[in-house]
Amino acid sequence: MTFDADDWLILARCWHPVALVRDLGTQPMGVTLLDAPLVLYRAGDTIVVADDLCPHRGVPLSMGKGDGQSVACAYHGFRFGQQGRCVRVPAHPDSAIPGKLNLRTYPAVERYGLIWTCLRPDEAPPVIPPMPHWNDPAYQQINCPFIDIAGFAGRQVEGFIDVAHFAFVHTDTFADPENPVVPPYKTHITPDGFEAEYRSSVGNYPIGKTDRGCPGFEWLRHFRVHVPFTATLEIHFPDNGRLVIMNTASPVSARQTRMFAPMCRNFDKDLPLQDVYDFNLRVFEEDRALVEAQKPENLPLDPTLEAHVMADRSSIAYRRALRTMGLSQFFTA
């Protein structure tokens, strides 16, 4: 366990994405969430999320085979179906199957092209951050491939909402090294975190797209942060164009993150999706190098442990929101 035990209990009550829906075919998929190995498999129209462990002899079920209706353990062929129930023991096909052979399962919800789960669910409805315009037919929905980061999810999310690093990290993709000044902005506390509207002259067109310049345009970036590890950024382009990026960081462990980034936009809908995937990867790879190098690896929640400037209002609000959840000062063990 890489998390502080009390922090883990808090984070395990939250819903996290673990995979792209399109990546789950008929074969079982192994993933890890909060240090817990899980297996995902299809059982007809439903997706099963369970501990990646056959209760017979402890072999990971992700090593087994699926048929779209169930998954079979690679060791003795025990087969498991909907809700993790053991439906077949090949060595004793005519005997009753004890309930102890059923899998320990977790809820699964499909949203924004992602599979979300919760390790300590209660009876309340799932709490999954909203994504503006995702269900708007005027918008194109895009599911970028996930990105693995050898760093802590909190550090990655804080980097996503940090507007002061554009001129130093993203000058090969969209930012201007001659435009590092951060105009004043404010944060607004919400029940799930906070919001911030940031207005500046820093554009969002890819470097080299000189034909799409718009002199004098004021770019609005509307951040909506939902603790612990999801933020959406709605960028207002010229001519009422909108691009929404959801940055949702799945905490594989305290030192490993799988970052998902569903997007939607109401312009350039006829352009190749691969161009979006490639540009998104370039931008997040620029961030990844910094996140993986940060020390301490975790996110200090005590504001006295790192220096802050006016441009860090969002970072300060984020750390405050995490403290409000009850997470510890150092967040990770």
- Residue pLDDT, tens place only, 175-215: 888 888 889 999 999 999 999 999 998 888 887 776 666 77
Separation of alpha carbons 82 and 85, rounded Å: 6
Q: How many domains does the chain have?
A: 2
pLDDT over 90 for what percent of the chain? 77
* Co-location of 179 and 113 in the same domain: no
Domain region containing 160: 140-325
Residue-wise pLDDT for 138-159, tens only, equals 999 999 999 999 999 999 999 9
* Co-location of 80 and 160 in the same domain: no
Residue-wise pLDDT for 204-252, tens only, equals 888 777 666 677 889 999 999 999 999 999 999 999 999 999 999 999 9
Residue 158 CA from chain centroid, whole number: 13
pTM score: 0.94
* Co-location of 213 and 280 in the same domain: yes
Residue-wise pLDDT for 161-174, tens only, equals 998 888 888 888 88
Query: Which tokens in the block code for residue 108?
Result: 């699964």
Say what the pLDDT of residue 333 is.
Answer: 47
* Co-location of 173 and 255 in the same domain: yes
* Co-location of 68 and 146 in the same domain: no
The answer to whether residue 10 sits within a structural domain is no
The answer to whether residue 134 sits within a structural domain is no
For the CA atoms of 111, 112, 115, 116, the dihedral, rounded to the nearest 10 degrees, stands at: -60
**CATH code at 228?**
3.90.380.10
Q: Is the predicted pLDDT of residue 329 greater than 80, yes or no? A: no
* Co-location of 99 and 156 in the same domain: no
The answer to whether residue 122 sits within a structural domain is no
C-alpha pair distances (Å), 239 with each of 9, 205, 217 = 46, 14, 10
Which of 53, 86, 117 finishes a domain? 117
The answer to whether residue 133 sits within a structural domain is no
In the chain, the DSSP E strands lie at: 16-20, 29-33, 36-43, 46-51, 65-66, 71-72, 79-80, 86-88, 105-106, 108-111, 114-117, 140-143, 147-149, 187-190, 193-200, 219-226, 230-236, 242-253, 256-260, 262-265
* Co-location of 282 and 321 in the same domain: yes
Q: What is the DSSP letter of 46?
A: E
